[in-house]
Structure 1
Amino acid sequence: MSDHLTPAEAETAFWKSLKHSNTGMLGIDRPGYHHQPMTGFGEPETGTIWFFTRNDTDFARDVAAGGQMGMFCYQAKDEKLQACIHGRLAIDLDRERIDRFWNPVVAAWYPDGKADPHLTLIRFDADDGRVWVSDTGMLGFGYQILKANLTKSTPDAGGVADVNLG
Structure 2
Amino acid sequence: MSDQLTPIEAEKAFWKSLEKSNAGMLGIDRPGYHHQPMTGFGEPESGAIWFFTRDDTDFARDVADRGQTGMFCYQAKDEQLQACIHGRLVIDQDRERIDRYWNPVVAAWYPEGKNDPHLTMIRFDGEDGRVWVSDKGVLGFGYEILKANLTKSTPDAGGVADVNLA
Q: State if a TM-score over 0.5 links the two structures.
A: yes
Q: Alpha-carbon deviations, 1:40-70, whole Å to 9, x = none?
A: 0000000000000001100000000123000
Q: Alpha-carbon deviations, 1:76-99, whole Å to 9, x = none?
A: 000000000000001000000000
Q: Distance in 1 between matches of 2:139 and 2:128?
A: 31
Amino acid of the structure 1 residue aligned with 2:3: D
TM-score by length of 2: 0.99
Does residue 112 (structure 1) correspond to residue 105 (structure 2)? The answer is no
Q: Distance in 2 between matches of 1:28 and 1:66?
A: 12
1:30-45 correspondence runs (5 A): 30-45=30-45
CA-based RMSD of the aligned residues comes to 0.9
1:13 match: 13
What are structure 2's unaligned runs of at least 5 residues? none
TM-score by length of 1: 0.99
SS in 2 for 1:65: helix
What are structure 1's unaligned runs of at least 5 residues? none
SS in 1 for 2:66: coil
Q: Percent identity?
A: 85
1:11-160 correspondence runs (5 A): 11-160=11-160
Q: Distance in 1 between matches of 2:98 and 2:105?
A: 13
Q: Distance in 2 between matches of 1:34 and 1:90?
A: 18
Q: CA deviation at 1:3?
A: 2.0
